[in-house]
Structure 1
Amino acid sequence: MSILDLFRDYTLRNVALGAMVLGIVSGILGCFAVLRRQGLLGDALSHAALPGIAIAYLLTGSKAPIVLLLGAGIAGWVGTLVINRIVRDTRISEDSALGIVLSVFFGVGILLLTYIAKRNDANQAGLDRFLFGQAATLVATDVLTMSILGGLALGCLVLLYKEFKLLAFDPAFAASLGFPPNRLGILLTSLIVVAIVIGLQTVGVVLMAAMLVGPAVAARQWTHRLSVMLVLSGVFGASAGIAGTMLSLGQEHVPTGPMIILSLTAIVTISLLFAPARGLVWAKIRQNHSLNNEPRSREIQPAKGE
């Protein structure tokens, strides 16, 4: 499959554009989750979105993407508040709170999907696609919705860039300047929820965490500057989305979501090994070079008169 097929084939074009938008938005926003050592956050919130999809369907009886994604967004935001409340009001660590929300919300979501499946409602078919994603079902309106939501999230990030930067590197200093770290943290997490929501139809709740963490981890290997890291992370996410789309749709019976993640895994692996800033191969080369250039210790000369 050639790059020209992106412009000729309607399905391929929509899937590639949707995956590219997802890669850019999740890659950029995921940088802050990685820098704040909240890699599990994307996994927890993506799983927390599942019961929202089921509840939205039960309340409306509609499978319209905007309705289901709205339910997913509300559930993910509620998960954010629950995590924040657990950490603030109990002695449970943040990692434990993330694990609790992940397992409980996901369990409730599976229970609701099972209940819906047993209702003998013909209209419920296809809800399980949000577990692993079904990118081939993307249409132009879905891509437009993803672009609008992603654009709003990135626009908010641009407006509060300095505040989010302080929150990521030194929340105590941000508090001393009068910024509310808790509110900024909730807002930043809410933006991550937006990235998760727009990715559910493409890669699903199970794989969405990789789209948040993978591009950021790869970009971190190439630079020490946040602005450069954000740009590289968006580029890596978009590249993985387009590459995974072309590889999957070029072969029969190859799911797009997992192929996007595998493409992203290749980018992360190359970055971990060969990135000049922090790559393992270059670090080993520099270590060997420094060892070879160390001056040899001189032999101890006997003192006069000995």
Structure 2
Amino acid sequence: MTFKDYITLLASDYTLQTITLGTAILGAICGMLGSFAVLRKQSLLGDAISHASLPGIAIAFLLTGSKDTNVLLLGALISGLLGAFWIRGIVKKTHLKTDTALGLILSVFFGFGMLLLTYIQKQPNANQAGLDKFLFGQAATLLVEDVWLMAAVTGICLVVLLLFWKEFKLLLFDEDYTKTLGFNTKFIDILITSFIVVAIVLGLQTVGVVLMSAMLLAPAAAARQWTNSLGVMLLLAAAFGIASGVIGTGISASQSNLSTGPVIVLVAGTFVLFSFIFSPSRGILFRQLRLGSSRRDLALHKTLSFMFEIAKTHEDKSHPHAVQILNNFQGYTIKTLKKLEAKDYITINGKMWSMTKKGYAAAGNLYNQNLKDE
């Protein structure tokens, strides 16, 4: 199927419309809430919570015998919240660091979940088939009711973000100052964590336990490269998340034997890679260009300062000197001399150079600045 065929199918296929809308909404909420995890340096939180939700899915099935998505996701929510608050409790009540607590909860809960799934699969009835879809996700199982649930949760998140915007910003960048202002930091922290858990649980059906952390973090990581503003970052992260969901669904639908969840994550990873390279402020490409420019400017200033040291020994500052005396100076190159001449800092006559008044003044400023720095 070509991309044009996919667009035509999207306009007419109700199921594909539902899946595309669901993945777009999931990308938006994951992008927004993932930004808080990235800025709080809790990038592994999404991975830990997504893995911690697996036992809840298995226990919900064992207790009810039902594979109803809402029942299983409720179990995942309870298990995920339990894992999140255990992480918080370990960090607050012990001397263990956050990364240790995250790794501990992730491995213990996931191991317990896999144990329960193995036990369920060995039961004599056939009703347990399909539970493993929560490991890697299965977007094709999204129903309209699931999309409405995602939309409702996203709307609630937006309302809460607007209501507690100032508190969230303060807590992200200076928790101690937030306390001095009288805000309940514990409540704000629990609120952020709870919404992150909800977003992860909503994405389990689409992306799965294993890949959900990437869906949460990739759009936020990409957005962080483009801005220093929290508001702009949240909008960009939501946009990257939506684009990842829509494009990933389109690629999966247009090609056979491609799972939607992994494709969405790969698209999100492509946005991260693009941002790491081409972001004007933090991108590798522009950083190297700025570094090269700085090195060239430094070579220019070093050569000009060296010339200044020579020229100031003469009463006539425009006294000509042989280019040959620069041969043993590391900053000297013919290209550097041409740049200095283009800036009207020096004049070159054959193999002789002399400083202009403009160049002598510029070099004097550099010399005085170096004295101040010392």
Alignment deviations for residues 231-283 of structure 1 (CA, whole Å, 9 cap, x no partner)? 00000000001000000111111100000011011111110000112111011
Of 11, 30, 33, 1:29 maps to 33
8 Å CA contact retained: 1:87, 1:97: yes
For residue 37 of structure 1, give the secondary structure of its aligned residue in structure 2: coil
Question: Displacement, 1:303?
Answer: 4.8
Of 236, 240, 251, 1:236 maps to 240
8 Å CA contact retained: 1:153, 1:194: no
The residue type paired with residue 36 of structure 2 is F
Of 78, 81, 93, 2:97 maps to 93
Structure-2 residue corresponding to 1:298: 306
8 Å CA contact retained: 1:236, 1:267: yes
Q: Which has the higher contact order (CA 8 A, sep 6+)?
A: 1
For residue 156 of structure 1, give the secondary structure of its aligned residue in structure 2: helix
Structure-1 residue corresponding to 2:122: 118
**Count of residues in correspondence between the two structures:** 305
Give the gaps of 5 or more residues in structure 2. 315-374
1:213 paired with 2:209, answer: no
Alignment deviations for residues 282-305 of structure 1 (CA, whole Å, 9 cap, x no partner)? 11111212222342332433857x
**Aligned-residue CA RMSD (Å):** 1.5
Question: Displacement, 1:4?
Answer: 3.8
| Counterparts of residues 254-269 of structure 1 (less than 5 Å) | 254-269=258-273
Of 50, 63, 68, 1:64 maps to 68
The residue type paired with residue 46 of structure 1 is S
Structure-2 residue corresponding to 1:134: 138
Percent of aligned pairs sharing the same letter: 53
Q: Which has the larger radius of gyration?
A: 2
Once residues 27 and 185 of structure 2 are traced to their aligned partners in structure 1, the CA distance between those partners, rounded to angstroms, is 27
Of 1, 7, 11, 1:7 maps to 11
Give the TM-score, by structure 1 length: 0.96
1:169 paired with 2:178, answer: no
Structure-1 residue corresponding to 2:256: 252
Q: 1:152 to 1:121 in 2, by over 3 A?
A: farther
For residue 123 of structure 1, give the secondary structure of its aligned residue in structure 2: coil
Q: Comparing 215-224 with 178-187, which one deviates more in the overlay? A: 178-187
Structure-1 residue corresponding to 2:154: 150
Of 188, 191, 196, 1:192 maps to 196
Once residues 278 and 4 of structure 1 are traced to their aligned partners in structure 2, the CA distance between those partners, rounded to angstroms, is 39
Give the gaps of 5 or more residues in structure 1. none
8 Å CA contact retained: 1:42, 1:192: yes
1:53 paired with 2:53, answer: no
Alignment deviations for residues 68-123 of structure 1 (CA, whole Å, 9 cap, x no partner)? 11111111111111111111111111110011110011111111111111112211
Once residues 137 and 185 of structure 2 are traced to their aligned partners in structure 1, the CA distance between those partners, rounded to angstroms, is 34
Q: Comparing 289-298 with 228-237, which one deviates more in the overlay? A: 289-298
